[in-house]
Amino acid sequence: MSLARFLIVLWVCLVSAALPLNAQQQTEQNQPMQLMDGPMDNMLPIEGQRFRIDADIEEITLLFFREPNSQPLILIKPDGSKWYDSDYPLERVTWYTDPNFDMIKIVDPEPGPWQVAGRVDKQNKAIIVSEVRFEAEPLPKQLFQNERLKVEGTLYNGTTPVSTARFRETVVLDVLFVSSNNPDFDNFGADPTRVAEFSDNGQGHDEQAGDGVFTGRFALDVVPGEYLPTYQLETPLYERSFEDEAVVVEHQPVTIDFQLAEERGADNGIEVSLDEKLVNPSSVAINGSVSYPNGEERRFSVTKIDSFPHVIPLDNLAYGKHLVELTVFATSNQGREFELQFNNLSFISVEPVAEPTAEELAQQARQEAVRKAELERQQREAEEQQLIVNLIIVAAVNVVLIAGAISFVWWRRRSKRLNNDPATAQKNAEKAEQKAQKKAQKKAAKSE
């Protein structure tokens, strides 16, 4: 009997010890996810497709990553009703869907357990998007026109650096240089200029993809002056702008000109001048390339320059348009290393006119003598022809004048003879009398 009681007591103890453990395991398995717990408040593990929203949340933005090219998710509210990407309350919800993610902003969300239905990416975590901001390295106070500058920065979601690679894919980071409208500078009233885009994709000047460090390559092809660097952050649901302290972009301290060959076979040249008040002359190095009119391309480097202006010779391979690109590396007198980029430079070389030889000069002299003799002959013939024409005209005029004079004398003599004839005089008197009678009749008719 004692043995039986002992066995019963032992069994009860074992069951009593196991029950809390099983209950704890069951509770952990069924426990919904808490959005606001833990040091990583903006990370939301998707386990069991459920999460909880606390009662004091006034607005929340959720970012759910899906398997590539899957259908948009379905949100299931605590009361069991569903929201779809095409059916949700517009006055409270903003929903952006992409082939790979859903970003949903909810105003006054219902507290309690929520569920999400869909092909959620198991390798990533859903994120609560709070105050997304970007912090970049401070820019130098002195910059140069046409400078290329590498700048790194970190993207934050709230106070936590963003470590989820796919979240960074949803953000666009641009940099604008906005004129401070200081009338003391040349860029007063200039339009904003986009000078860089930040990325964390391991391409270009970004060293490693997904390491959380965003890299931007500034291209300061702007008018010299004072600018306010403005970082523009854009997500599918909202935009943010972060303004940095004012910087001054100086005139480029390096100028480029071209020297064209004046003789056949001579080289062309690139003339590089330097403002030694801004730049240490001994620090200058140059890389460049030339595209020739015949399609050939050549690269060159200059690492030692004794004095400025310095001329870089270019082989004269063909005549026509040459395209030139230059990169200048130097150190300012303030000790800062910088890089200048010169793109779209060009010049046109024209084939020089060759000097004629002695034989060619003699031939040209003979040709010139023949040409002059021919011109003189043609001129003499023209003068002779003109003289003949003038003589003909004078003779014709004289003939006309003489004929006219003879006709006039004949007419006068004939008129005198007719006037002295009695019969002719009688006829003339009768005609005069008839005219007088007609005039008298007309006057009488008018008076009646």
Tokens for 341, please give them. Answer: 């980029």
The second-level CATH assignment, the architecture, of 132-250 is: Sandwich (2.60)
- CA separation for the pair 131, 31 (Å, rounded): 28
- CA separation for the pair 150, 219 (Å, rounded): 9
Average pLDDT over residues 148-162: 82
Tokens for 142, please give them. Answer: 């002195």
CA distances (Å), 401 to each of 241, 394, 404, 406, 415, in order? 104, 11, 5, 9, 21
Closest CA to 320 of 355, 295, 288, 354: 295
Measured in degrees and rounded to the nearest 5, phi and psi for residue 252 equal -60, 130
Cβ atoms of 312 and 254 closer than 8 Å: no
CA distances (Å), 153 to each of 114, 132, 150, 214, 389, in order? 35, 13, 10, 5, 97
- CA separation for the pair 124, 170 (Å, rounded): 14
Closest CA to 349 of 327, 322, 328, 309: 322
Cβ atoms of 231 and 244 closer than 8 Å: yes
Q: Is 58 exposed, middle or buried (0-12, 13-18, 19+ CB in 10 A)?
A: exposed
Tell me whether domains 132-250 and 254-349 share a fold: yes
Q: pLDDT digits over 402-411, tens only?
A: 888 888 888 8
**In the predicted structure, residue 443 carries a pLDDT above the cut 90:** no
Rounded to 10°, the helix 358-420/422-447 angle is: 90
Domain boundaries of the chain, sorted by first residue: 43-128, 132-250, 254-349
Average pLDDT over residues 22-37: 33
- CA separation for the pair 341, 195 (Å, rounded): 13
Average pLDDT over residues 335-342: 94
The second-level CATH assignment, the architecture, of 254-349 is: Sandwich (2.60)
CA distances (Å), 316 to each of 76, 190, 261, 266, 291, in order? 74, 41, 8, 7, 12
Q: pLDDT digits over 187-229, tens only?
A: 998 999 999 988 877 777 777 776 777 888 999 999 999 999 9
223 vs 53, more confident: 223
CA distances (Å), 130 to each of 50, 54, 61, 396, in order? 20, 15, 7, 113
307 vs 213, more confident: 307
Q: Considering just the CA atoms, what is the radius of gyration of the chain in Å?
A: 52
Closest CA to 261 of 345, 319, 346, 309: 319
**In the predicted structure, residue 445 carries a pLDDT above the cut 80:** no
- CA separation for the pair 261, 145 (Å, rounded): 30
What pLDDT does residue 123 have? 62
439 vs 349, more confident: 349
Q: Which CATH class is domain 43-128?
A: mainly beta
Q: Report residue 111's pLDDT band, with 50, 70 and 90 as the boundaries.
A: confident
**In the predicted structure, residue 163 carries a pLDDT above the cut 90:** no
What pLDDT does residue 34 have? 30
- CA separation for the pair 301, 166 (Å, rounded): 41
Q: Which amino acid is at 232?
A: Q
Residue 146 DSSP class: T
**In the predicted structure, residue 8 carries a pLDDT above the cut 90:** no
pLDDT > 90 in the chain, percent = 29
Measured in degrees and rounded to the nearest 5, phi and psi for residue 348 equal -120, 120
